[in-house]
Structure 1
């Protein structure tokens, strides 16, 4: 598949894999006997929960910071890197910057759970709590870039970020080259877009299924509108899927539109039940955004019988109080 106007190609993803080698874990793809029996299919779980930063975001953040150092030298990042995040990207930038010897500042809205804030601070990054949404936090990021000369590491809308996330797709194709479907949480589109680019370039017939929140699904609403649109950010068990895609989106809107085959929105109840099911039957602690693939299979009755299906368990950043809420909601 050739590189399109979004700037991401299979070659970019292979380059990203070279850059992040030794910094990011190649995560296992494991068979789930319980889910396979439940859906009469071979269900495989991609365990990004095992990344040292706790989520897939480490791939893109490491690739971008390493690429900037490679192209411009470490001195070009002397003022530090900065980003806004719903938690996982901020932690990934803090982790990658620490390993690569670059100072980092992470701007977080008040919607980001306290456990994710603490995890970022523990990595030595400076944290600024700003505004009621990720979009408002980005206003502070723009100020820091403008006034302090810091370098933005965007959460998703950059070819280097999407290519880094796409390394996950390479691993899927190497470990299960005959996959019928990959189910991925959809928010800003860096993860689904990167995975989709890698998978479709290698095996075009594999379906890429996106899963969004029932409310505040910015990328899905933008795709329906045919252009990036703003949506109200709402609280969710899957808080990592919140936030807009940027009205000036240059990369991931086009990338997702190119590679995604189908899409489903899931309710909070379905997310809660999926989180509990994964904990009870797989003995894996996952955040809401990591459980939406299972939520979609259960809520929408996707026809996967006899197929080989990978669910991307994207991260483990769940607070105990959030897990308690999920249990309560699932037991209603």
Structure 2
């Protein structure tokens, strides 16, 4: 049974209206030529925090405020933490964000700049979550999970609504796949409006926890490894309540990418689409460039999830191409 209903998604849209951007859907002539079908980019890069995460965080925190909460904590690979910090400041809440030492410095600094308490804990997303849960127990914070939460999933699902409203005949949607909050939300909304829409998850080869869990038929642990798609790192939780089941039900296939492919996506975004994107946001474009979608039906939409790449890393990747 799904963690959310379509009514939850529409309520989430009402709740976040005015705080989150309705993002543009733009056609990519270059990718359309390569794919042989019309390709559109859903640009979550224009959100105030630079990623889609603001949708789920704002929906969750707005509901917590309604319930009387004043302090929130989360564990994050960067973008969710920044979104929670932004939403908390807008709603007058205190925020703490726990991150591992693998989170890039630019993302840590961005969270701190929004006034949140930053806690660096361990070398994995799981370590960061353990610390966040300690703050819940010992200091009375309300916990906002980065993905495995019905309020967060409903917020991310508003992307699916926007895609179907802007392009009713969309046939295929490519979504970055990590913990499953973005994928399950977008796929849920899209398939509940048009059950024939194909939803494809795209992720990196290095430490793809959801892919490994789907293959095993249950949530499993994976080693968290350094990758250009750092926002897709981390486990899905052995006690995963929502996103594993939703992703397993809604996903049509998974595309895995090596680091060179992700780098090509970043370069393509910059040179052909005039976009600065992080590795996790480049994976849909990388899949098209790799020819992994030669049989995909069009029109095809790629969710471009965020732009929060370390600028020196971006300069190095572009310079090496």
Give the TM-score normalised by structure 1. 0.94
- Is 1:279 the counterpart of 2:270? The answer is yes
Aligned Cα root-mean-square deviation (Å): 1.2
- Is 1:17 the counterpart of 2:13? The answer is yes
Q: What does the per-residue CA deviation read over 1:191-222, in whole Å, with 9 as the maximum and x for residues that have no partner?
A: 01000000000011110000111121101111
Matched position secondary structure for 1:183: strand
Aligned to 1:269: 260
Contact map agreement 2:97 2:117 (CA 8 A) in 1: yes
Superposed structure 1 runs of 4+ greater than 3 Å apart: none
CA distance in 1, matches of 2:247, 2:175: 11
CA distance in 1, matches of 2:289, 2:182: 22
CA distance in 2, matches of 1:51, 1:297: 24
- Is 1:217 the counterpart of 2:213? The answer is no
Aligned to 2:59: 63
Contact map agreement 2:43 2:303 (CA 8 A) in 1: yes
CA distance in 2, matches of 1:63, 1:238: 25
CA distance in 2, matches of 1:255, 1:283: 34
Contact map agreement 1:40 1:304 (CA 8 A) in 2: no
Where structure 1 has 5 or more consecutive residues not aligned to the other structure, the ranges are: none
Q: In the TM superposition, what is the alpha-carbon distance from 1:299 to its structure 2 partner? A: 2.1
Matched position secondary structure for 1:23: coil
Q: In the TM superposition, what is the alpha-carbon distance from 1:306 to its structure 2 partner? A: 6.7
Aligned to 2:168: 177
Give the TM-score normalised by structure 2. 0.97
CA distance in 1, matches of 2:315, 2:76: 24
CA distance in 2, matches of 1:169, 1:301: 23
CA distance in 2, matches of 1:102, 1:325: 38
Aligned length: 321
Matched position secondary structure for 2:290: helix
Residue 113 of structure 1, aligned match among 96, 104, 109 = 104
Contact map agreement 2:172 2:297 (CA 8 A) in 1: no
Where structure 2 has 5 or more consecutive residues not aligned to the other structure, the ranges are: none
Q: In the TM superposition, what is the alpha-carbon distance from 1:139 to its structure 2 partner? A: 1.2
Q: In the TM superposition, what is the alpha-carbon distance from 1:303 to its structure 2 partner? A: 2.1
